[in-house]
Amino acid sequence: MAVEVLYFAWVRERVGLPRETVETGAATMRDLLAELALRSAGHAAALGDHAALRCAIDQQLAGLDAPLVGAREVAIFPPMTGG
């Protein structure tokens, strides 16, 4: 399946792209992160530490074990803080 992957903040800086469309057979968000980390050294640097990442599937926050079935868009970003 084709999924549009969006990268934000320092994740985007390390990957070197704001977005990309990927063909994946990943069943979960965790599987997709593992696949993406193999694409380049920048991807590996950005996506290697899952504890430092948050994800959304089709604009809904999702855990790493969330299924990707039918997903069209995935966003990957660092945890947010605010005040």
Tell me the mean pLDDT in the region 12-36.
97
The pLDDT tens digits for 40-78 are: 999 999 999 999 999 999 999 999 999 999 999 999 999
Edge-to-edge order in the sheet of strand 60-62: 19-23, 2-7, 73-77, 54-57, 60-62
81 falls in which pLDDT band (50, 70, 90)? low
All structural domains of the chain, each given as residue ranges with its CATH number in brackets, are: 2-77 (3.10.20.30)
Q: For the chain, where are the alpha helices, taking DSSP H only?
A: 9-15, 29-37, 41-47
1 falls in which pLDDT band (50, 70, 90)? very high
pLDDT at residue 80 in the model: 77
